[in-house]
Amino acid sequence: MPMASATRDYRELRLEHMSRSFGSVNALRDVTLDVRRGEFIALLGPSGCGKSTALNCLAGLLTLTGGSIWLDETRIDRLKPEERGFGMVFQNYALFPHMSARKNVAFGLTMQGRDRAESERKVDEALAIVRLGEQAEKLPGQLSGGQQQRVAIARAIVIEPPLVLMDEPLSNLDAKLRLEMRAEIRRIHEVIGSTTIYVTHDQEEALSLADRIVVMRDGEVRQVGTPEQLYASPAHADVADFMGYRNIVRTRAQGNGNSFRVLIGGASIGGTPIGAGAEGPAVAAIRPDDLVPAADGPIAVTVESAQYHGSEFYCSGRAADGTDLYFQSEPRVAKGDSVRLSVDPGRVLVYPDADQ
């Protein structure tokens, strides 16, 4: 296939103002992103945010209604999926049910017209990479979910695609297998050095797998950054919400600079302004693990519920002004207890509230 070989050696994948609408609904708006070859990118967002649409546009399964996609200087958004030669792992694996695992993996090579010996060797390699040797002659229906997943990955990587696309590949697996396969996916990525775009709604998955995370919402990119950047300083309140800042409190900001403060649960506490940092309506975001009980803590809450999670309790409490706050406590607390909470001002992220 001339196309696949022409695009295999490239330096970067560029999405320029990529848009897709369905009728009057804009599923994808003006997505612009540069991906270096070999990068692992996670598209993260809640369902309906456009991340799967973006992936299908990249695969060529959906046409763009605006913008373009480039591999270096080659424009590829008008190519059919079979001309792009990208490997895709589908959410339901989409294994061909009438072919053995081996034939599934060999399918792409057969379509490229590779000779038999070469094809056999590459299939064996791919099956070895995903650690699926003995099961190769079985039909997909005879394989477990995790094994089907491995076949799907082997099938996508065996054609040595310039880009591997994964659409929530772990969402159909149980919790234990999901952790195992997550590690496997990262390992396989490192073994074959492929460029990978990985769609997920699970922030933990994105944080642990990706080199860079693209947080999407309502069809738009809200923030692009390394896991550390996103975790420590989300640029928007909704990104914070998605990165595990469970306490999103609508409040007011006062003062500026060192005396910048916000009202949380009736108490005025120090905070870190993100963006404008002006006085007025604001949204404060705090992670539950940053909000901890302390004898002299400024925020007083009554415990509403406490769940035991091994090393600590995941708790929710209500402040005097009715604000619900999630926090974590190492000492045992129980419903109805009065607790005082304290938080490092550096971990109280304050965003200007556009909606108030």
The residues that touch another protein, with contacts defined as CB under 8 A, are: 1, 4, 59-61, 80-82, 84-88, 90, 92-98, 107-108, 111-112, 139-141, 143, 145, 148, 155-156, 159, 165, 172
Of 175 and 295, CB closest to another protein: 175
**Closest CB 162 distance from another protein, rounded Å:** 12
Q: Look up residue 172 and give its amino acid.
A: N
**Closest CB 111 distance from another protein, rounded Å:** 4
**Closest CB 200 distance from another protein, rounded Å:** 18
**Closest CB 98 distance from another protein, rounded Å:** 4
**Closest CB 328 distance from another protein, rounded Å:** 36
Of 68 and 172, CB closest to another protein: 172
Of 17 and 78, CB closest to another protein: 78
The Cα–Cα gap between 215 and 225 comes to: 9
Spatial contact of 55 and 199, defined as CB atoms under 8 Å apart:
yes
Spatial contact of 336 and 303, defined as CB atoms under 8 Å apart:
yes
Of 84 and 222, CB closest to another protein: 84
Q: Which long-range contacts (CB under 8 A, 24 or more apart) does 312-318 make?
A: 314/288, 315/339, 317/341
Q: What's the distance, Cα to Cα, between the start and end of the chain in Å?
A: 56
The Cα–Cα gap between 249 and 265 comes to: 9
Nearest CA among 74, 68, 78, 71 for reference residue 18: 68
| Token pair for 268 | 């005025």
Spatial contact of 339 and 333, defined as CB atoms under 8 Å apart:
yes
| Token pair for 276 | 């404008």
Of 85 and 271, CB closest to another protein: 85
Taking the CA atoms of the chain, what radius of gyration do you get in angstroms?
24
**Closest CB 25 distance from another protein, rounded Å:** 16
Of 56 and 251, CB closest to another protein: 56
